[in-house]
């Protein structure tokens, strides 16, 4: 039998040898002719079209540019020709889009009397690092002096982001290696160009793909597959940094702030790989019992549903603060508040610059009782409902009956974690118990672990922010500066836990809290500019 197998393998090798020799010859010929160079088009994982134009020349102003990033024209940005003003370009997602560009430019002018500044905000809601990398390749044409990068919340937002990443995570090491080899073969690039020539025709002014809906496949990610997205983020961030530095431009890297009192995204698979059917059933039973044990006033809007199949980040965690209203809608709400008569709950006093309330007449950026909230006349009832839960949490005054219930819930969550130590919902639920019980250090650790093991987070996580820190540490060269936004917000929040005093939901910073953050950006921006260009 072994002799027959050996003969078969020998015949197979002899049959494939001419094909292999021909393939190598073709690859070497293409290399000699400089045809089909890898990296000139999308790789096999097919993310977004890198030849689509996010920025096009402004037809009315020679040397100017116009964005085509949005679905509606009135949101597009016109960038004037480069002048003697120093230019800051900001890239990222919706948080970046909401940064107050005019206020930042004024602060830069005040801190840098030798120059005037302009801020070009290229933030776009929903854009993750893959999109940002493509956009930035083109934004270098704007001739920025400094680029500020604030990206990492949206890595699991769009289905188009490296479409096959989850599948790659499930591939064997050999499978991933084979796919990577295919990405770099010139013959593969030539074949793809032949079948899709429009992707390499840069004379065609193609708009970027529309923002895509969150993929249903994210409901079934394992943590192994989740880590594949973090690897892609690290790769994209490295590309972003290289693009900026290769152009001789200053770079500001930022970690991102997130609301630690919003529960993790709950996948359909509550227990990760390796769990038996019996363990999965027992886990669900324990999670359900633990959820029911937490007194309602400590979990409404945070862990509303006791059934683990229903546990999710519900709408109370995305309340309507009135921030996105148009001026006429603001006027209507102020005239007839939707939640008239309700009392604003008291939350925690902030420290540092966040505790020094900036003066503003903007109803979207009012600060109240130490929190950076918009005018309560704009709020819907859900905001009050949620903040009442937060007020009860922060008071931490459970009755003796509630105290016993919290300890029981804590124990049940602990039993669930013995079955699935990386279950994000169990970690978050136990963190809530620890926080109300006054165990701040344990609560911080549990909340951090819940975010870390979130399968498809809507926020920056430990792996995301640590990637930024590690890259900033690696790039200790002239022109690179670093702002640890996560650390700043934690240091200025009581118990070191960032909450609704400065966040509107899981990842968006309240408009009022964005203003003092601009003060943190200024020295880093100026340092990057001076170290790159000199004074």
Task: Please identify, among 329, 357, 379, the residue that sits at the C-terminal boundary of a domain.
Answer: 379
Residue 147 lies in a domain: no
Q: Do residues 357 and 447 share a domain? A: no
CA distance 505 to 321: 10
**pLDDT, average across residues 424-443:** 96
| Residue with the two structure tokens 């889009």 | 97
Pairing between β-strand 86-92 and β-strand 78-79 as defined by DSSP bridges: unpaired
Q: Do residues 446 and 346 share a domain? A: no
Residue 304 lies in a domain: yes
pLDDT tens digits, one per residue of 287-335 = 999 999 999 999 988 886 544 444 344 444 567 899 989 999 999 999 9
The pLDDT assigned to 451 comes to 94
Q: Do residues 439 and 407 share a domain? A: yes
More confident residue, 162 or 386: 386
Q: Do residues 310 and 398 share a domain? A: yes
346 C-beta neighbours (distance < 10 Å), count: 15
**pLDDT, average across residues 149-169:** 70
The pLDDT assigned to 183 comes to 55
Residue 2's pLDDT band, with cuts at 50, 70 and 90, is low
**21 burial via Cβ count (<10 Å: 0-12, 13-18, 19+):** exposed
**pLDDT, average across residues 422-446:** 96
pLDDT tens digits, one per residue of 376-391 = 999 999 999 999 999 9
CA distance 348 to 501: 7
| Residue with the two structure tokens 């995204």 | 265
CA distance 464 to 280: 29
**pLDDT, average across residues 222-230:** 88
**pLDDT, average across residues 65-90:** 94
Burial letters for 126-157: b for 16+ Cβ neighbours within 10 Å, e otherwise? Answer: bbbbbbbbbbbbbbbebebbbbbbbbbbbbbb
CA distance 411 to 248: 56
How many domains does the chain contain in total?
A: 2
Residue 91 lies in a domain: no
**pLDDT, average across residues 37-50:** 55
**8 A C-beta contact, residue 255 and residue 487:** yes
The pLDDT assigned to 63 comes to 92
pLDDT tens digits, one per residue of 119-145 = 999 999 989 999 999 999 999 999 999
Q: Report the half-sphere exposure of 441 (CA within 13 A, side-chain side).
A: 0
Q: Do residues 332 and 365 share a domain? A: yes
Residue 331 lies in a domain: yes
Task: Please identify, among 435, 452, 469, the residue that sits at the C-terminal boundary of a domain.
Answer: 452
Residue 68 lies in a domain: no
Q: Do residues 431 and 445 share a domain? A: yes
Task: Please identify, among 411, 428, 452, the residue that sits at the C-terminal boundary of a domain.
Answer: 452
Which CATH number does the domain housing residue 415 bear? 1.25.40
CA distance 488 to 392: 25
CA distance 144 to 149: 13
Instruction: Give ∠ CA 163-167-173 in degrees, rounded to 5.
Output: 125
The pLDDT assigned to 29 comes to 72
Q: Do residues 331 and 427 share a domain? A: no
3-state secondary structure of 253: strand
pLDDT tens digits, one per residue of 332-346 = 999 999 999 999 999
Residue 34's pLDDT band, with cuts at 50, 70 and 90, is low
pLDDT higher than 70, residue 110: yes
Residue 368 lies in a domain: yes
CA distance 461 to 457: 8
Q: What percent of the chain shows pLDDT beyond 70?
A: 78
Tokens of 139: 């934004």
Pairing between β-strand 146-150 and β-strand 250-254 as defined by DSSP bridges: parallel
More confident residue, 394 or 356: 394
Q: Per mean pLDDT, which range of 33-42, 206-215, 394-403 is the poorest?
A: 33-42
pLDDT higher than 50, residue 200: no
Q: Do residues 330 and 448 share a domain? A: no
Residue 205 lies in a domain: no
pLDDT higher than 70, residue 530: yes
Q: Do residues 398 and 438 share a domain? A: yes
pLDDT higher than 70, residue 442: yes
Averaged pLDDT of the chain: 84
Q: Per mean pLDDT, which range of 29-43, 45-59, 132-146, 172-186 is the poorest?
A: 172-186
pLDDT higher than 50, residue 435: yes
Q: Do residues 292 and 415 share a domain? A: yes
The pLDDT assigned to 314 comes to 42
Range of the domain at 353: 320-379
Q: Do residues 304 and 324 share a domain? A: no
SS3 content of the chain, % helix, strand, coil (to 5): 50, 5, 40
DSSP code string of 486-522: HHHHHHTSGGG---TTTBSSSSPBPHHHHHHHHHHHH
């Amino acid at each position: 039998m072994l002799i027959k197998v050996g003969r078969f393998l020998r015949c197979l090798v002899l049959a494939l040898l001419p094909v292999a020799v021909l393939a190598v010859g073709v690859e070497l010929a293409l290399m000699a002719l400089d045809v089909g160079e890898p990296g000139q088009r999308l790789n096999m994982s097919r993310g977004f079209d890198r030849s689509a134009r996010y920025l096009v020349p402004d037809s009315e102003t020679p040397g100017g540019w116009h964005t085509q990033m949005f679905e509606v024209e009135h949101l597009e940005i016109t960038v004037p020709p480069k002048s003697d003003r120093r230019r800051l370009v900001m890239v990222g997602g919706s948080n970046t889009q909401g940064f107050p560009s005019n206020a930042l430019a004024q602060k830069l002018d005040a801190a840098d009397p030798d120059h005037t500044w302009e801020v070009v905000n290229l933030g776009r809601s929903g854009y993750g690092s893959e999109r940002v990398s493509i956009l930035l390749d083109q934004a270098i044409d704007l001739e920025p002096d400094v680029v500020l990068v604030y990206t990492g919340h949206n890595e699991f937002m769009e289905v188009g982001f490296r479409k096959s990443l989850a599948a790659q995570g499930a591939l064997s090491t050999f499978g991933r290696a084979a796919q990577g080899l295919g990405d770099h073969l010139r013959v593969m690039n030539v074949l793809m160009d032949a079948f899709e020539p429009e992707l390499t025709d840069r004379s065609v002014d193609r708009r970027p793909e529309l923002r895509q809906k969150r993929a249903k496949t994210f409901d079934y990610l394992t943590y192994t597959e989740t880590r594949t997205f973090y690897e892609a983020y690290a790769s994209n961030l490295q590309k972003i940094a290289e693009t900026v530095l290769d152009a001789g431009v200053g770079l500001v890297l930022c970690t991102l702030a997130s609301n630690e009192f919003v529960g993790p995204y709950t996948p359909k698979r509550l227990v990760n790989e390796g769990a038996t059917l019996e363990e999965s059933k027992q886990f669900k039973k324990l999670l359900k019992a633990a959820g029911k044990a937490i007194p309602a006033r400590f979990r409404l809007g945070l862990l509303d549903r006791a059934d683990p199949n229903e546990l999710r980040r519900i709408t109370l965690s995305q309340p309507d603060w009135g921030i996105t209203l148009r001026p006429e809608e603001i006027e209507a709400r102020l005239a007839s508040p939707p939640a008239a008569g309700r009392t604003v709950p008291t939350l925690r006093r902030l420290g540092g610059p966040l505790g020094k309330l900036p003066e503003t007449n903007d109803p979207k950026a009012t600060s109240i009782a130490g929190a950076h909230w918009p005018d309560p006349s704009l709020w819907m009832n859900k905001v009050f409902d949620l903040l009442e839960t937060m007020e009860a949490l922060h008071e931490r005054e459970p009755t003796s009956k509630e105290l016993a219930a919290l300890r029981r819930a804590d124990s049940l969550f602990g039993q669930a974690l013995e079955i699935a130590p990386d279950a994000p919902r169990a970690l978050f639920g136990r963190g809530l118990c620890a926080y109300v019980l006054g165990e701040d250090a344990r609560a911080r650790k549990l909340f951090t672990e819940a975010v870390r093991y979130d399968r498809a987070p809507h926020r920056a996580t430990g792996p995301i922010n640590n990637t930024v820190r590690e890259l900033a540490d690696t790039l200790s060269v002239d022109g690179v500066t670093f702002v640890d936004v996560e650390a700043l917000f934690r240091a200025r929040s009581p118990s070191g836990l960032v909450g609704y005093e400065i966040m509107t939901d899981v990842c968006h910073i309240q408009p009022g809290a964005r203003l003092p953050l601009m003060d943190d950006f200024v020295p880093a921006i100026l340092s990057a500019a001076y170290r790159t260009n000199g004074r």
